[in-house]
Amino acid sequence: MAPAEPKPKVERSEVMIRILVRVGGRCGRPVDGTEIAPCITAKNGHYHSINFAKLEIIGMDLLDGIRTFVAVAESGSFTAAAARLGITNKVASKYVAALEERLGHTLLYRTTRAVSLTDDGARWLPFARAAIDAVEAAQGALQEPGEGLTGRLRLACGTTLGELVVAGTVRAFLAENPGMRIEMVMSDGLTDLAAGGFDMAVRIGIPLDSSLRMQRVGETVPRIAASPAYLARAGVPLHPADLAGHRAVIDLNETRPGRWAFETPEGPVTMAMTGAMAVNSAAITIRMALAGDGLVRAPDIFLAPHLAAGTLVEVLADFTGPAHPIHLLTLPTAFRQHKTTAFAAVLRRRLAAL
């Protein structure tokens, strides 16, 4: 019996990118115009192993091209799209080029400075988004109850919201899904989700960008509080008019810093507050209030642990204004939608418990 032929040595990188094509007839004949690697015999026939490096574009998954095209269209660049999808610029460019070749239409104009949609690309974009949405929904439908998610999510949120609320949500989400990895970027400025490669953002209020998808995950009410020591020294205000003689720590992130609005039986009242300190950080204003430096106005979700501990005392509770919604925002095409939906559920539970 002749000794078995040694198996061809295959590099590890090739093992993950090799395609098997079942063939008939004599060995060595071309298949789809590609170079044939050694024949592999199995019980149900024999196969030709095709090096994916020779088939990098021909054999790509159509869905990869659609995902990449949508990401480029939404972000305006291959660099941002590649970051969003976790691939290289070169691969992103090849995916879109292959998709265009397959469709027989140019979808994107490319220059050294910018990328924009052609007329065909603009017409095809809604259909591409619908295809991605359908696949994301199908992936979510196959998720078994209790089965942890895997992969990554890139999240943007405000600095104080991230420190005091979202970070704890991330920890709870990872405990339920240990195979996940979260990248959280905190900034109080407006964040371009597409350009930044973000899957989602958590924000208080209604975003100016109406193209974003919004999931309402909770709400927050602005409260006014101070330390027991400050109130013992300066007195407890019983009506917004009593604030005239009080000091405040001003949050510059507010729409109208130092202008505190109230609802009274007589109608809306706005008080102009003064203080020795104004800062663009709600977390710092709370710390200064804890130290007895004055009154602070902040979302109740930020003040909740201090009010519960008694280190801060709420005042003027009967005059608070309307609640502000808290939203989880995603792009029109929500890649990893089943994962962002799962994160939203954890965030909703955490906010309800505050």
CB 242 within 8 A of CB 234: no
Domains 62-141 and 150-220+325-353 are alike in CATH topology: no
pLDDT value at residue 127: 86
pLDDT value at residue 147: 67
Q: Tokens for 21, please give them.
A: 């094509």
Give the separation between CA 337 and CA 128, rounded to whole angstroms.
Answer: 15
**Dihedral-angle region of residue 224 (phi above 0 means left; psi in -120 to 50 means alpha; beta otherwise):** beta
Q: Is 116 helix (H, G, I), strand (E, B) or coil?
A: strand
> Mean pLDDT over residues 186-207, rounded?
84
Say which residues have a Cβ less than 8 Å from residue 310's Cβ, sequence separation at least 6: 228
> Mean pLDDT over residues 301-326, rounded?
94
Is the pLDDT at 8 greater than 80, yes or no?
A: no
pLDDT value at residue 111: 85
Q: What is the DSSP string of 17-36?
A: TEEEEEE-SSTT--BTTBPP
With tokens 């199908």, the residue in question is: 138
- If pLDDT is split at 50, 70 and 90, which confidence band does 57 have? very low
> Mean pLDDT over residues 310-325, rounded?
93
pLDDT value at residue 105: 92
Provide the residue type at 29 as one letter.
R
CA distances, 322 to each of 121, 219, 319, 325, 329 (Å): 43, 10, 10, 10, 22
CATH topology of domain 62-141: Arc Repressor Mutant, subunit A (1.10.10)
Give the separation between CA 201 and CA 290, rounded to whole angstroms.
Answer: 29
- If pLDDT is split at 50, 70 and 90, which confidence band does 76 have? confident
CATH topology of domain 222-322: D-Maltodextrin-Binding Protein; domain 2 (3.40.190)
CB 315 within 8 A of CB 236: yes
CB 160 within 8 A of CB 187: no
- If pLDDT is split at 50, 70 and 90, which confidence band does 140 have? low
Give the separation between CA 84 and CA 82, rounded to whole angstroms.
Answer: 5
pLDDT tens by residue, 89-120: 999 999 999 999 888 999 999 987 789 999 99
CATH topology of domain 150-220+325-353: D-Maltodextrin-Binding Protein; domain 2 (3.40.190)
**Dihedral-angle region of residue 114 (phi above 0 means left; psi in -120 to 50 means alpha; beta otherwise):** beta
Q: List the chain domain ranges.
A: 13-54, 62-141, 150-220+325-353, 222-322
- If pLDDT is split at 50, 70 and 90, which confidence band does 129 have? confident
pLDDT tens by residue, 10-45: 333 333 334 444 444 445 444 444 444 455 554 445
- If pLDDT is split at 50, 70 and 90, which confidence band does 7 have? very low
